[in-house]
Structure 1
């Protein structure tokens, strides 16, 4: 296991300049916003506005703090264009090349964003609340703490990430996200 402390992350502007993001991990390491195979990050959404467009990328968006947002996504089909997301919502997969914009429901939010290159990788995000036993089944498995938590013997601060060893099984306790990234 490898701990990636939240305190070590550097802020960077969104691709469209409309907000701030903190990269947790990417493949290849240090890849730019147009050159990654996959990317896991946390973003601060402080104002209403458009999301960055990522052609050829699939996204999974998970609200991790704040009152929530209304996400309007073009091209999802009738009745599926607007989605309301908050801290209890299931992670939302959607195409990164679809035009999307957010309206905040009560102030700034933070979200976790998993992006994978379509056709090469696939990703999933699962919420964990409380004690559970998990197994790292994906090629890359990452735990992200949403509040102070424990993973095995590792104590995690809020927004710390832990890259798990392949096939590792461990007991976790807290509010966490389990991210899985596999070849397509």
Structure 2
């Protein structure tokens, strides 16, 4: 799908619409390929979490304040209302985005490197996107394997996420308020 500002495209992984609010969503998860410097689209009323998953990284200027986001480092959070410009550090990147309605939800985004585990509590929504290697999701007695480039969604289910040797995953979690 094209960016709101027309400067590129994004691949939407999942979206939760807001009932009775055409054009609004509770949250959206996507991956974007960024080939050149330029402005970010505005998402008024939303918060954004972004992580670079391929390429060296990017230097953002968010309402005049610089921030650097590098490959598979801690995700960066900023207001969708902000004026954001992007400069690439060393060529094209791919980023993972979680955008959520700040009044109706809380969210977090984590990069889980090789040989790590994370407990996913029951409640809310969780997306596990495998970047490298095989990622394992354990829910009760069930085991699911998520291959690179694929995403698994959990709605309200507790699970354990495991990354093996050479594996890396992105974990996006959203909990609606109220």
* TM-score class, shorter: 0.7 to 0.9
2:94 counterpart (103, 107, 110): 110
The count of aligned residue pairs is 166
Q: What is the TM-score of this pair, normalised by structure 1? A: 0.82
Is residue 119 of structure 2 the alignment partner of residue 134 of structure 1? Answer: yes
What SS does the aligned partner of 2:36 have? coil
1:181 aligns with 2:166: no
Query: Is the contact between residue 123 and residue 155 of structure 2 (CA under 8 Å) also seen in structure 1?
Result: no
Tell me by how many angstroms 1:87 deviates: 1.3
Quick one: structure 1 residues 33 and 19, their matched pair in 2 at CA, closer, same or farther if it must change by over 3 Å?
Answer: farther
| 1:38 equivalent in alignment to 2:27 | yes
Aligned residue in 2 for 1:72 = 61
- Structure 1 position 22 matched with structure 2 position 11: yes
| Shift in alpha-carbon separation, 1:33–1:167, aligned structure 2, 3 A | same
Q: Say which of 72, 86, 89 aligns to 1:88.
A: 72
For residue 119 of structure 1, give the secondary structure of its aligned residue in structure 2: coil
Alpha carbons of 1:97 and 1:165: their partners in 2 closer, same or farther (altered >3 Å)?
closer
Q: Which runs of 4+ in 1 moved over 4 A?
A: none
Let me know the Cα RMSD of the aligned residues. 2.0
| Contact in 2 for aligned 1:67/1:106 (Cα 8 Å) | yes
TM-superposed CA distance for 1:138, in Å, is 4.6
Q: Which runs of 5+ in 1 are unaligned?
A: 1-11, 76-80
Give yes or no for the alignment of 1:145 onto 2:138.
no
Tell which has more relative contact order, 1 or 2 (C-alpha 8 A, sep 6+).
1
TM-score by length of 2: 0.85
Q: Shift in Å at residue 169 of structure 1?
A: 2.3
